[in-house]
Copies of this chain bind each other. A is one copy, B any other.
């Protein structure tokens, strides 16, 4: 009984099914990983799986900004030295980590947990937009506070940004979005015309 497409063991086949359900992991890689795990000491494998289970079961989301956190309030929202009157709205946890890695931003965040996408069936009510509106409305002197819409430049990002803008417009809070233009080191010759056009329209005062 050769097993052309199948596996020598149901347990192995189940593990390959599970591992290949991860994004970007095909069945060949999944088999390689499963056989790797099989060769490891049992306690290493249990440590591996329990780290994943604990992440899924015990992680908290900051009650203020919805960022992943070990506590009720995340390290950023709990930091008194940060600018609590600026909120940077991002799609995901990864975006917060990317912006923090730049070291250029010292305000707070708001993680939407996704982006409005009719195709993917994600509507405004699936995202943390209500919580953002509540935060915007809670500011005293809203005209000196700011919401930065740091969303991606595609249709979904623009739609979500516009939707949020309409929801918080009435508070009088300042709303900004990320600068778009040529990247640092980008060659004019290879820039797409949409980006180049926007770069010219939104040209900045030259600061030598």
Contacts and interface: CB of A to CB of B under 8 A. Distances in A.
Interface of A: 1-4, 7-12, 14-15, 17-19, 21-24, 29, 31-38, 40, 42, 44-60, 67-70, 74-76, 79, 92-94, 96-97, 100-101, 103
Contacts of A74: 8
A93 B23 contact: no
Which of A21, A23, A47: most chain B Cβ within 10 A? A21
Contacts of A52: 15, 18-19, 34, 37, 45, 48-49
A21 B1 CA distance: 35
Contacts of A51: 11, 14-15, 17-19
A49 B50 CA distance: 8
A158 B33 CA distance: 27
A76 B68 CA distance: 49
